[in-house]
Amino acid sequence: MEIKKLAGLSLIALTLAACQTSNLKGKAHTGFTKYSKEKNHKAFFVFETPDNGFVYGYTYNRGTRMAAYNAASIKCNKLFDQVNFSGKCRPYAIDDIKVASMTKEEIHKLLQIAPPPKKHASPATRPPAPTIQSFEVYGTWQNVSENVTGTFQSNPEDPKNSTLDISFNGINCSGHAKYARGAYKAKIPPEGVWSVSCDKGMTATGTYRSFEPGTGIAKGTDNKGHKIDLMYKPKD
Q: DSSP string of 103-145? A: -HHHHHHHHHSPPPPPPPPPTTTPPPPP--EEEEEEEEETTTE
Question: Domain tally for the chain?
Answer: 2
Tell me what pLDDT residue 17 has.
Answer: 41
Phi first, then psi, for residue 193 (nearest 5°) are -125, 160
State yes or no: pLDDT of 118 exceeds 70: no
Tell me what pLDDT residue 143 has.
Answer: 92
Residues 6+ apart with CB under 8 A from 213: 184
Tell me what pLDDT residue 230 has.
Answer: 94
Do residue 189 and residue 222 come from a single domain?
A: yes
125 lies in a domain? no
23 lies in a domain? yes
Tell me what pLDDT residue 123 has.
Answer: 55
66 lies in a domain? yes
Rg over CA atoms, the chain: 19
State yes or no: pLDDT of 15 exceeds 60: no
CA dist list (Å): 187 to 30, 32, 115, 191, 224: 47, 46, 43, 12, 34
Q: Which domain holds residue 218?
A: 133-234
Do residue 153 and residue 91 come from a single domain?
A: no
State yes or no: pLDDT of 92 exceeds 70: yes
Instruction: Report strand pairing: 97-98 vs 54-62.
Output: unpaired
Q: How many CB atoms lie within 10 A of CB 130?
A: 10
Tell me what pLDDT residue 49 has.
Answer: 74
Instruction: Give the model confidence (pLDDT) of 32-54 as tens digits.
Output: 988 988 888 999 998 877 777 77
208 lies in a domain? yes
Last residue of a domain, one of 112, 144, 163: 112
Average confidence score pLDDT of the chain: 79
State yes or no: pLDDT of 88 exceeds 90: no
Tell me the average pLDDT across 143-151: 92
Tell me the average pLDDT across 110-130: 61
117 lies in a domain? no
Last residue of a domain, one of 81, 112, 143: 112
19 lies in a domain? yes
189, 181 contact by CB (below 8 A): no
Do residue 52 and residue 91 come from a single domain?
A: yes
Do residue 148 and residue 69 come from a single domain?
A: no
Do residue 98 and residue 14 come from a single domain?
A: yes
Between the CA atoms of 57, 60, 63 and 68, what dihedral angle is there, to the nearest 10 degrees?
20
